Every structure is written in structure tokens, then in C-alpha cells.
Amino acid sequence: MTADIIDLRSDTVTKPSVGMRQAIFDAEVGDDMSGEDPTVNRLEKIVADLLGKEAAVYNCSGTQSNQMAVRAHCQQGDEILIDESGHIVNYEAGAAAALSGVSARLLRGPFGIFDVEDLDGKVRPDNQHYCVTRLVCVENTTNHGGGRAWPLAQMARVGNWAHDHGLKVHVDGARLFNAATAQKYSVRDFARYADTISICFSKGLGCPMGSILVGDAATIYKARRARKLFGGALRQAGMMAAAAIYALEHNVERLQTDHDNARAFAEAISTVCGLRIIVENVESNLVFFEIDPARGTSAQLSARLMERGVRINPSGPYRLRACTHLDVTRADVLQAADMVREAMETDLAQANGSHLAGSAYASR
């Protein structure tokens, strides 16, 4: 980051590196909508092979990839099963309903990770009064579930259950490589239990934009038609596809560094009186923590941190989320933790007339 700003709002704030910019500059391009962009074609084959699937389609964003999958798997009036914290139902502008006429039945799993017992009894009866349950949606890593990664055995149970009940499985894998890094499995092993998987290149992998959807050839054919329908057909997209290829070759193995930095930040703020965080719950590059309501709100703390050159967004009235990425260093996150401590011990204490010893949140 710059000397003035430490930006922990999201891993989407990364800037392309010098090497990635060179890859963009050197990219061979063509008309992707006509299947003539060689770099896009190469990227799609790389990712399909990596995940053990037949086909892939490159897209503008993770939201677009997810909604293409919903459209490809479902018909109007169908229903998806998804955790209540899922990105598809909370942060995609109601697109499943607006674009495809699909509703959602919400599940509740620990940290956004549900299991078979949460799914049992959730498939609608074959009756004209009910919508048709069609699709199970998994998010890995969970975003507002806490940045947690699905265990492979749990994904196997859920995937097998869904297929045994005649349902399809879509994985919102925006941070799938983070999950694989945290749980130490391959993305291919995880993907075997899913029918479609989306991966975002503009988060931990550091690209300026782009996502990809993989699956069997027939489903990706439908998804490609949905991409056109949604206004997302691309032309000379090889420049951005080249960035994605560069990221796959250079930015996957380094993700553990982001996870280590997230844990270091969590440990550093865990002793700040007035904050609550369970360090053991920090599994990837996302750190969620809470401020004692008696000491202020998340918006107040976020504003105080911004004055100190640290950007961390509220994630609820008293909850904040920090996200590490390739543009922040260990020194950056430790400095940011110092600024959190300073803001809690000075500004917020003074603004709310609180005393450090009076906090309801013990350091942990």
C-alpha cells in the first residue's frame, strides 16, 4: 500500500503488479463472443482442466458467474437452498429473482457452512402448491459467515446428499483458492462434488477484474447463453484473461501469506479492551471482530481509523471486517492493529465517556 493508506476493506482493492501489467500488454486477443480470443480460450481450458470439468466460460464478475449458474440450472418458479449468509442472496441485488424468477430457501449453518441435517426435509414435495427445489448453493470460503473454508468431507456429504435427491450443486468459489489453501486440499478434489463452480480473479488473486464459471459442457453452453442475455458477452477480453492466467501462475501459492497476515492482525487486536475477536476462527484472509456497544459503533471506529490512514469497513452495527491481500505486508497489518488500539484507547473512549476497565468485552 501507499505510505499514507493501509486498505483492509477488501481484497478487491488490489492493483495489478508490474508482471501482470506486462502480461496484459502482451496478450493475444480476438473476438471472444465468436470464440476467437485465444487467450480467453486458453484460460477457460486451464481452469476447466484444473477443476476436472468439461468446460468453462469467462465472465466480468463473480455475481455474473453465480447468476449465470442459477439461470443454467433453474427455471422460473424454482427454488435454491442456500445459507442465510450467502453472497447470492444478500449481495447480488436480488438478481436470482429479478433475472431468473428463482426464490431462495434459507439455511443456517455454523459460519455459513451447513450440513446434511440442515438440508433434511428442505426439498419441496412434488405438489402443484409448491415451487420446485432445484439447486443447492455453497459458498467457499464463506464471506460474512466469517471467512471459513468448507471441510472436504462436509462438502462430500452435502454434494452427495444433493445428488441423491436429484438436485444440482453450485459453488460460489469467489475465494476457492483461499479455501483450498486453508484446508490443504486441491480445488479439483473439492470441485468433484459440485456441478458448477465460480471463481473470482479480482480478489485474492489480484486481477483488475474477471470471474470464470466451470461445469459440464451442456450446462456451460446454457450459461454462455445467459451471459449474452445478461449483457455480459465479451469481445477482446484476452487482456483480462491474460491477467487471470498470470495470477494462476504467480499468486496462488502466496495466499498463505495473506492468511498468516490475517492471523497476525487478529492476534494483535485480540488484547484491545472493548473489542471481541476469537483468533482461532480466523482461517483465511478475512478477520471479523466486534466492538462493545458501550464503547461505540462499528461506523464510529471505522471513521476514526480512516483518520489514521487505515480503511476497515463496518459489517454490521457493531461488527467490522478486515481483509488482507497481496498489497499489504506484515508491517502494514501490525501498524493497522496499532491504529485500532489507539482509536479504541483514545478517540472512542473520550467520545463515549467510557473507561477502559468498564468494557463488557474482555480481551481474548
**Among residues 189, 218, 250, which one ends one of the domains?**
250
Label residue 12 by pLDDT band (50, 70, 90): very high
Q: Does residue 11 sit within a domain? A: no
Over residues 89-125, the pLDDT tens digits come to 999 999 999 999 999 999 999 999 999 999 999 999 9
Say yes or no: 98 and 32 in one domain. Answer: yes
Residue 179 lies in a domain: yes
Q: Looking at 185, 216, 250, which one is the last position of a domain?
A: 250
- Phi then psi dihedrals of residue 275, to 5 deg: -115, 150
66-86 pLDDT per residue, tens: 999 999 999 999 999 999 999
What is the CATH number for 294? Answer: 3.90.1150.10
- Shared domain for 134 and 31, answered yes or no, is yes
- 245 with 207, same domain? yes
| pLDDT at residue 2 is higher than 50 | no
The reply to whether 130 and 188 lie within a common domain is yes
Core vs surface per residue 205-227: b (16+ CB within 10 A) or e: bbbbbbbbbbbeeebbeebbebb
Q: Give yes or no: residues 261 and 238 share one domain.
A: no
> What's residue 355's pLDDT?
47
At residue 215, the 3 state secondary structure works out as strand
Q: Report if residue 357 sits inside a domain.
A: no
The whole-angstrom separation of Cα 19 and Cα 162 is: 42
Answer whether 0.75 is exceeded by the pTM: yes
> How do beta strands 132-139 and 103-107 pair?
unpaired
Residues 285 and 208 in one domain: no
User: Is the same domain home to 195 and 271?
Assistant: no
Question: For the chain, what is the domain count?
Answer: 2
Is 56 inside any structural domain? Answer: yes
Instruction: Find the domain containing 333 and state its range.
Output: 254-352
Say whether pLDDT at 1 is over 50: no
Cβ-based neighbour number of residue 36 at 10 Å = 14
Quickly tell me which residue has 479504541 as its cell. Answer: 344
311 phi and psi angles, rounded to 5 deg: -105, 115
From 225, 250, 275, the end of a domain falls on 250
CATH of the domain at 94: 3.40.640.10
The reply to whether 47 falls in a domain is yes
Task: For residues 272 and 335, state if they share a domain.
Answer: yes
- Cis amide bond preceding 297, omega within 30: no
174, 198 contact by CB (below 8 A) = yes
Clarify whether residues 203 and 296 are in a common domain.
no
pLDDT at residue 350 in the model: 63
Residue 362 reports pLDDT greater than 50: no
Residues 190 and 272 in one domain: no
Question: Is 30 a domain residue?
Answer: yes
What is the per-residue pLDDT for 312?
A: 98
- Cα separation, 239 vs 24, in Å, equals 5
Q: How many CB atoms lie within 10 A of CB 357?
A: 6
Contact, 170 vs 66, CB < 8 A?
yes
β pairing state of 168-173 and 132-139: parallel
Strands (E), the chain: 6-7, 55-59, 78-83, 103-107, 132-139, 168-173, 196-200, 211-215, 275-276, 286-291, 310-311, 313-314, 319-323
87 shares its domain with 164? yes
